[in-house]
A and B are shown apart, each in its own frame.
Chain A
Amino acid sequence: MAFLEISHLEKSFGANRVVKDFNLDVDKGEFISLLGPSGCGKTTVLRMVAGFENPSSGAIRIGGTDLVGKRPNQRNIGMVFQAYALFPNLTVAENVGFGLKIKGAPRAEIDRRVAEMLALIGLPDLGGRYPFQLSGGQQQRVALARALAPKPQVLLLDEPLSALDAKVRVSLRNEIRAIQRELGITTIFVTHDQEEALSISDRIVVMNGGIADQVGTPFEIYNRPSTRFVAHFVGQLNVFSTDGAGNLAGVQLGAGRDFAARPEALHLGRAPGTDIVLPARISEVHFLGSVIRLTADAAGARVSLDTFNRPDVPPPAIGTDVELSLSSRDLIPLG
């Protein structure tokens, strides 16, 4: 039996059904990301787990206990918010110890746990500071420590990295994952950033229009998307249409279907192991450092491909006629 079970969860605001028959089983210690565009219902699912919204129907169980109807303060679920939500009138140490104080823990235990949490997030000397004296990244670390201090059963992260700059976002997401692994806490992470979700999750739930379109590991989600939406939403995609006979560049693929290929599946020139060769003309060149992203017109479509930067081989100039190759095994059939 899964540690956290969400079954047939529904939520409507008036006539608007924002979550439709949502089902998810999460094992203890698992890191799950809810990924989807704005308005897909991912935050609503999270808020129902936290108890801030009541489901219209369905069940949420942790360790077999149904949480529906329980108030948020009775659920023992930690939550980190996008806007940090640190209490401005309390110091960092008081913020981290707040949950334990509410539980009536003895002073010595609170102090010990606060010190432990501050060491865990790498801010052992900042206990006496107020939130406004910290940077955004530090505030979010403190918010994480505060959520973890009372030892919650489940940790919910509601787009915790969205308000941070790119560099801090990457380092903090790695820290969050490391801390989650160290503590073995079951975690649900809401994000609209596919790179974030792919990089730190055990499994990803891709949501669209209130429905879980696909649940799978990052590898499965990226390489074997089960719906057209997932294929388009996660990663970059080049879409090819076959001719009336179901051929693409002379290779039989299947009639009446579209096929997609990731930019890294396309090769400049005829690469070994490929069976589809497309004549193309380079239309854009973006130098991204280690990778060069080329855009080309091929087979009646505009396609992107990534090549590694090699200092001894300059990228093709715009307007150059080239050949692109790919393996039919790398094509993703779109439903």
Chain B
Amino acid sequence: MNPIARLFGWAALVFGLLYFFIPLTGLVEFSLKARRGVYSLDAYAKVIGDPEFQATFGYSVLMALVTIVIGVLIVVPTAFWVRLKMPWARPYVEFITLLPLVIPAIVIVFGYIRLYNTSSWLPMTGSVMGTNILLAFGYTVLALPYMYRAVDTGLRTIDVATLTEAAQSLGAGWGTILGRIILPNVLVAVLSGAFLTFAIVIGEFTLAALLDRPAFGPYLQRIGANKPYEPFALAVISFGITWACMGLIQLVTRFSKHTRAQN
């Protein structure tokens, strides 16, 4: 590489890092200024000690786990079947899984409210449990593009058809093939999808707010509107959660036997 190109590369990298880190540094710095004149973790202590933070964060974590389970149960068999028996359907399935990226969450939630309100044939919004289920399915839809792509990429790394036939010739049925052969071999991909889903659900505002559920997203918004320093501490915490998820994706990829086999 010639020196000018190298210099340009470095300049682009430095610009990108500054673009990303300067606002973030401001955010972190301001979150530490709750006590006048000195840096302190007061804002963080206040946020973490807030019972509402614990309740909403706990609720969102639970909803994220439920969403991941539903997502895995829907996406893994679908992606497996499309790859194995219906490769012609792949473009259609990909298109459907991409729809949540172009249809805003607010449209989805208004659709839900219209379809499942208390005077509808399936009044899911009439009970707390029904609304929770609706919210989990809504989150599943929002996470679908990420989960499907992650799982599909994972399936691409293994010879799905031959492994399936090998398992069948040894007497395995579909449940065994999915549970003992396919899922463990795409576990890294599923975990990647799961961590992305977790990050999406933890910060999601629209669905939770409009379905009136006590989730972390609406809590973030409420605190942001009413408190000076705590919202910045919460924003840093949210960043931390997302980065932790990304780090975990890297970690499970590195420690995967299957991935090592590819190298």
Binding site for B on A (CB under 8 A): 50-52, 71-73, 75-79, 81, 83, 85-89, 98-99, 102-103, 130-132, 143, 146-147, 150, 156
Identify which of residues 209-263 in chain B touch chain A, using a CB-to-CB cut-off of 8 Å.
257-258, 260-261
Interface size on B, residues (CB 8 A): 22
> In angstroms, how far is the closest chain A Cβ from the Cβ of B159?
6
Assess whether B181 is in contact with A79, with CB atoms less than 8 Å apart.
no
By CB atoms of chain B within 10 A, which of A50, A52, A85, A156 has the most?
Answer: A85
The answer for the CA separation of A50 and B169 in the assembled complex, in Å, is: 7
Contact B184 A103 (CB under 8 A): no
- A92 CB to closest chain B CB (Å) equals 13
Query: What 18 additional pairs, Cβ within 8 angstroms, besides A52-B165, A87-B163, A130-B261?
Result: A50-B169, A71-B168, A73-B170, A73-B173, A75-B169, A83-B159, A85-B159, A86-B166, A87-B167, A98-B172, A102-B171, A102-B172, A143-B166, A146-B166, A146-B170, A147-B169, A150-B171, A156-B169
Q: Within 8 Å of chain A (Cβ to Cβ): is B40?
A: no
Contacts A89-B181, A89-B258, A132-B257; A73 near B171 (Cβ below 8 A): yes
Which residues of B are found within 8 Å of A52, using beta-carbon distances? 165, 168
Bound-state CA distance A146–B163 (Å) is 13
- Chain B residue with the shortest CB-CB distance to A50: B169
The 3 tightest CB contacts between A and B, nearest first, are A132-B261, A99-B170, A85-B166
Given the known interface contacts A83-B159, A99-B171, A146-B170, the answer about A89 and B165 at a Cβ–Cβ threshold of 8 Å is no
Provide the residues of chain A in CB contact with B162, threshold 8 Å: 81, 83, 85
Chain B residue nearest in CB terms to A86: B166
Compute how far the CA of A152 lies from the CA of B95 in the bound complex, rounded to whole angstroms. Answer: 44
Q: Are B170 and A102 in contact (CB under 8 A)?
A: yes
**Could you tell me the distance between the alpha carbons of A86 and B158 in the complex, rounded to whole angstroms?**
11
B185 at the interface (CB under 8 A from A): yes
- Contact residues, B175-206 vs A (CB, 8 A): 176, 181, 184-185, 187
A50 to B167, CA, bound (A): 12
Contacts of B176 in A (CB 8 A): 102
CB distance from B34 to the nearest CB of A (A): 49
Contact surface of B with A, Cβ cutoff 8 Å: 158-159, 162-163, 165-173, 176, 181, 184-185, 187, 257-258, 260-261
A323 to B127, CA, bound (A): 101
Query: Across the interface, do A79 and B163 meet the contact criterion of CB distance under 8 Å?
Result: no
Which secondary structure characterizes the binding site on chain B?
A: helix
Q: A99-B171, A131-B261 are in contact. Are A89 and B166 (CB under 8 A)?
A: no
- Judge whether B168 and A72 touch: CB under 8 Å: yes
A78 to B166, CA, bound (A): 9
User: Given the complex of chains A and B, what is the CA–CA distance between A103 and B172 in angstroms?
Assistant: 9
Asked whether, in the complex, the Cβ of A72 is within 8 Å of the Cβ of B165, the reply is: yes
Q: Which residues of B contact A71 (CB under 8 A)?
A: 168
Most chain B beta carbons < 10 A, residue from A72, A77, A88: A88
**Min distance, Cβ A311 to any Cβ of chain B, angstroms:** 49
CB nearest neighbor in B for A47 = B165
Contact B159 A87 (CB under 8 A): no
Minimum CB distance partner of B163 in chain A: A85
Give Cα A89 to B179, complex, Å.
12
User: B257 to A72, Cβ gap below 8 A?
Assistant: no
Residues of B within 8 A of A98 (CB): 167, 170, 172
Cross-chain contact of A79 among B158, B165, B172 (Cβ < 8 A): B165
Q: Which residues of B contact A89 (CB under 8 A)?
A: 181, 184-185, 187, 257-258
Docked CA distance A6–B108 (Å) = 57
| CB nearest neighbor in B for A77 | B169
A86 to B166, CA, bound (A): 8
Q: List chain B residues, Cβ under 8 A from A103.
A: 171
B168 contacts A73, CB within 8 Å? yes
Q: How far is the CB of B263 from chain A (nearest CB, A)?
A: 9
Closest Cβ neighbor of B261 among chain A residues: A132
Of B165, B168, B169, which is in contact with the most chain A CB atoms at under 10 Å from its CB? B169
Q: How far is it, in angstroms, between the C-alpha of A102 and the C-alpha of B176 when the chains are bound?
A: 8
